Structure formats: structure tokens, C-alpha cells
Structure 1
Amino acid sequence: MPLPFLTADSAFDAHEDTQLPLPHEDHDRWRRPYRPGPWRVAFGAVLLLVGSFMLLATMTVAFVGEAVGALICLGAASLVIGSALRLLRAGVWVSRAGLRRVSFLGTRTVAWQDLGEVRTVQQPVRWLGLPRTVQGQALTAATRSGGELPVLLTDHNADFLSRTEAFDRAADAVEAWAAEYRPAGAA
């Protein structure tokens, strides 16, 4: 079963050495311009493993004849599996319509014409999303009205920890999308 949210489009890999900032044919489809990092995939895999054991427990409880217990186990397993899928889907997504930041608990979409600037800055960033901060790079965006959006990407998050080249490529790709679709006076 293909899981399209786990992979970036292969067009980025195929055009990695060329100067094409946006190597996709269909710019209307939402896409993540980078591959999920090993930390995100590992956390998701562990949650899916726990969910599979919970489904096995659901089946065992159902065979014993406890319908209420089986429903409770099924609900808990569904919650764990849904959490794993949401964790794997989290990140920055782009399309011709705008920039979408998907977090674990919410999604925020900003149209390109409402976006003022997208840039990489040096600042304290959270390490793997934990409260501890370290000095690092962050891709930030601001709206035309001057409001700051939450940090889009950092070089210490679950996608880019110990992968600075991947962070640089992803930040460049998002900045290229912004340069392509933002109105000329928006910068």
C-alpha cells in the first residue's frame, strides 16, 4: 500500500543537480518538498508497532467474548494509529495555492499573496520539539501584515537532526516556491 505522505516526490531527487527550483509538473497538488527524517519515521514506526499489538489485544479480548473491552481496545488502537499517521504527515507542504504548516494538533495554510517573506535565520531552536533549545537554523515566514508565523522548519527537528544538507535543500525549495508564487511587491 503506497503511503504518499512518507516520501517527497522523486522529481526533487531526479533534478537535484539541475538549477530547476520547482521540478514538478503539477503545482496544484500539495506536496512536502523534502523527505521525512529518520527520527520522525522511527517515532511513527514505534507507534504503529504499538498499535499493531493493541489490535492483537483487541482480537484476543473479542475472542474471549468481552465486547465492551474489545471496543475499548479498538478505540485505543485507533487513537495510537491515527497519532502515528498524523505524526508522519506533519511538516511543511507547498502548492500553487500557498504554504501549509501541518503540526500534530493543527494545520495552518497561508496563501502566497498573504505571505511577506520566507527566510532562513540563526536563532535558538527546539531540539526534537522538546523544551530544550539549542542554537541552530530556522526557516521562518511572516505575513504581509507583519505577523510572524510559527517556525516552519529547523535543523534540529525530527526531519533534519544531523542532516544539515537536507535542511538547506528543503529551506531552498520552500524559498523557491515562495519566490515563484508570491506577488512581486510582497517581499
Structure 2
Amino acid sequence: MPLPFLTADRALQADGRADPVPPSDLGPDHWRRPYRPGPWRVGTAAVFLLLASFVLLSALIIALAGAPVGAAVCAAVGLLVIALALRLVRVGIWVSAQGLRQVNLLRTTTLPWSAVAAVRTVQQPVRWLGLPRTVQGQALRVDRASGEPLRAVVTDHSGDFLGRAETFESAVDALEAWAAEYR
């Protein structure tokens, strides 16, 4: 079963250059992430799914014990944890011919390419694995044509790229190529 939110959709050509043009079998409004989710992000989502399985098993046991209200509450919590895990895997920058979409845990910001002023890499303090602790690192900065830049979710210390500097560089190159092609 293909999982399109996990694939990078062939973001790099064979020679390593970024390929901003979507494949011909996909429409121009097909959103894709030009990099794969990292092991920290996938591992955290897997832990949440494991937790959800225990909560749903608890809901089953509570339902068999004869407490339907408690079982419903447990089932709702389990489904909420599953939704959180799936959303966590989707966090990142997504692109299409229409624009750039930044997916955060609780909200999504979509900008058409005409509203994007620049996409570049900057040196700045970044959050380590999304935690409050900051370290000096690199971040992909998306400047809007009007207003504040988007909050950096693609950093070299995020759950996608921690310890994978080459992957961060190729992802940033692919995102910059998309911006250069369509902006």
C-alpha cells in the first residue's frame, strides 16, 4: 500500500541535482514533500501509535467489563493519539506548482509562489528536535513578499535531519530549486 506522505517523490535526479518539475503522471496541484521524514520523526510517531494501541486495548477491556462511557472516552483518546501521530509525520514543507505549504503540528500555512519573496538557508539558533533547547544551526527561511517570514520547521536539528547533514543540504537544494522554478 503506497503511503504518499512518506515518499520524497524522486526529488533528486540521478546526478544529485534538484528536480523541481513534478512527474508527468502527477497533476500540477499535487503536493509533495521533496525529502523523506527522518528517523526521529518516524520513531516518535511509532511510539505514539504504540501508545494508541495500548489505549485502544484498554478501551476494549473497559467495554467488555461493562462501562461503555469509559470505553468511549478511552477510544476517543486513542483516536486522538493516532491523529497526532499521523499529523507529526506530515510536519514539514510541501511544494507543488501552485505554491508552498508549511505544515506544522496544529496548523498549515499555504502560500502561492507569487507571495514567496525568497527561500534560502540561514545560520540561526534552531530548536533541537523541536524542544525548547536551542543550538546554533541552519534553517530554511521562507520570506513572504509582505509580512513576517514563516517559522522555520526545516532545520538541520529537526526530527527529519538531525545527524544527516547531507540529507538536509539536498532537501534545501530541492526546495530552493522549486522556488527558483515557480517564483
TM-score bracket relative to the smaller structure = over 0.9
**Aligned length, in residue pairs:** 180
**2:87 is aligned with what amino acid?**
R
Q: Which residue of 1 aligns with 2:88?
A: 87
Counterparts of residues 8-157 of structure 1 (less than 5 Å): 8-9=8-9, 11-12=10-11, 15-17=13-15, 19=17, 21-22=19-20, 24-25=22-23, 26=26, 27-157=28-158
**TM-score normalised over the length of structure 1:** 0.91
**2:5 is aligned with what amino acid?**
F
Q: Which residue of 2 aligns with 1:185?
A: none
- Partner-residue secondary structure (3-state), 1:12: coil
Aligned: 1:173 with 2:171: no
Q: CA deviation at 1:123?
A: 1.1
Q: What stretches of structure 2 of length at least 5 have no aligned partner?
A: none
Where relative contact order (Cα < 8 A, 6+ residues apart) is larger, the structure is 2
What is the identity percentage for the equivalent residue pairs of Structure 1 and Structure 2? 57
The one-character-per-residue Cα deviations of 1:110-146 (angstroms, maximum 9, x if unpaired) are 1100110110011111111111111111110111125
The one-character-per-residue Cα deviations of 1:66-115 (angstroms, maximum 9, x if unpaired) are 11111011011011111101101111100011110000010001110011
**1:141 is aligned with what amino acid?**
V
Q: CA deviation at 1:161?
A: 0.3
Q: CA deviation at 1:24?
A: 2.7
**1:22 is aligned with what amino acid?**
P
Shift in CA distance, 83/162, structure 1 to aligned 2, threshold 3 Å? same
**2:22 is aligned with what amino acid?**
H
What is the CA–CA distance in structure 2 between the aligned matches of 1:2 and 1:18, rounded to whole Å?
Answer: 24
- Partner-residue secondary structure (3-state), 2:11: helix
**CA RMSD, 1 decimal:** 1.5
What is the CA–CA distance in structure 2 between the aligned matches of 1:49 and 1:134, rounded to whole Å?
Answer: 30
